[in-house]
């Protein structure tokens, strides 16, 4: 069974930085694109960033472009999201998700981690 | 960027009733890249439908998806107590993903 175990996050200050991690198991990690999706309190889902299986290609929503960096270490089966220049509006539960092959849907999700940006 | 609009915002139904949820796209979406998710409070979303009409692994056949172009539908043929949740449509295009704002299916 595919597992995505998230860590990191918690409390960050405006203008500060945080890093999220997502450890994958029970599938060939390097063969699949991955993404980050967030959900602000009481709001809907927002796609944040995506990365190809090799890590060569990365994609970002306009709301985080230039501030967040997605990366992966295929030797460690781990996905990362480096979050810089944090804003209050970045407060959300962040989910990592596995992109399910050619249909580009998110077929497995991490448990989510709450990021709160506040002074 | 393609905008997805879901309707209605809230659907109040009783167990055993049929639920029909709509998702409209601001421009044509490839059916291959249209998905539906279910989310319950405090839980991560769960993939229900991919490719507009294919059920994900373990999804009961009371869930079905249809549509093409700019108009897509998720149907739950007979609501079970565990189906009351929020449902999101999602599309992929030009290396970007977007979600609809969600439809809440609540117990009447």
Asked if residue B8 has a cis previous peptide bond (ω within 30° of 0), the answer is yes
Determine the distance in angstroms separating the CA of B65 from the nearest CA of chain A, rounded to an integer.
14
Do A106 and B45 lie within an 8 Å CB cutoff? yes
Q: Is the pLDDT of residue A9 over 80?
A: no
Alpha-carbon distance values, B4 to A53, A83, B89, B90, B102 (Å): 27, 27, 8, 7, 10
What does the pLDDT average to over A76-91? 97
3-state helix, strand, coil in chain B (%, to 5): 5, 60, 35
Is A49:A81 a contact under the CB 8 Å cutoff? yes
The pLDDT value recorded for residue A8 is 83
In sequence order, the 6+-apart residues with CB closer than 8 A to the CB of A116 are A10, A11, A12, A91
What does the pLDDT average to over A67-89? 98
pLDDT tens, position by position, for chain B (108 residues)? 899 999 999 999 999 999 999 999 999 999 999 999 999 999 999 999 999 999 999 999 999 999 999 999 999 999 999 999 999 999 999 899 999 999 999 999
Backbone region of residue B58 per phi and psi (left: phi > 0; alpha: psi in -120 to 50; beta: other values):
left
Residue pointed to by tokens 């139904």? B13
A103 at the B interface (CB within 8 A)? yes
The pLDDT value recorded for residue B51 is 97
Q: For A32-62, how does the pLDDT look when each residue is reduced to its tens digit (9 = 90+)?
A: 999 999 999 999 999 999 999 999 999 999 9
Do B35 and A50 lie within an 8 Å CB cutoff? no
| Confidence class for position A5, pLDDT limits 50, 70, 90 | very high
| Chain B nearest-CA residue for A52 | B95
Is B95:B108 a contact under the CB 8 Å cutoff? no
Q: Which of B46, B57, B92 sits opposite A104 (nearest CB)?
A: B92
Residue pointed to by tokens 């599309």? B91
CA atoms within 13 A on the CB side of B21: 36
Average per-residue pLDDT for chain A: 96
Do B44 and A110 lie within an 8 Å CB cutoff? yes
In sequence order, the 6+-apart residues with CB closer than 8 A to the CB of A8 are A18, A19, A20, A21, A113
């Amino acid at each position: 069974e595919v597992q995505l175990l998230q860590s990191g996050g918690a409390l960050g200050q405006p203008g500060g930085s945080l890093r999220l991690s997502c450890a994958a198991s029970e599938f060939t990690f390097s063969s699949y694109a991955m993404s980050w999706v967030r959900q602000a309190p009481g709001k809907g889902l927002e796609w944040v960033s995506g990365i190809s299986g090799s890590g060569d290609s990365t994609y970002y929503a306009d709301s985080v472009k230039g501030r967040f960096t997605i990366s992966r270490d295929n030797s460690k089966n781990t996905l990362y999201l480096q979050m810089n220049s944090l804003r209050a509006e970045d407060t959300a539960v962040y989910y990592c998700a596995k992109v399910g092959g050619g249909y580009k849907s998110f077929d497995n999700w991490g448990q989510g981690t709450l990021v709160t940006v506040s002074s | 960027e393609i905008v997805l609009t879901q309707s209605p915002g809230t659907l109040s139904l009783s167990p055993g009733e049929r639920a029909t949820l709509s998702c409209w796209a601001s421009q044509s979406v490839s059916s291959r890249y249209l998905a539906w998710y279910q989310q319950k409070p405090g839980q991560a979303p769960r993939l229900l439908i991919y490719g507009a009409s294919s059920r994900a692994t373990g999804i009961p056949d009371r869930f079905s998806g249809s549509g093409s172009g700019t108009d897509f539908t998720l149907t739950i043929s007979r609501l079970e107590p565990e189906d009351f949740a929020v449902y999101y449509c999602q599309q992929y295009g030009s290396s970007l993903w977007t979600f609809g704002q969600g439809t809440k299916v609540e117990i009447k």
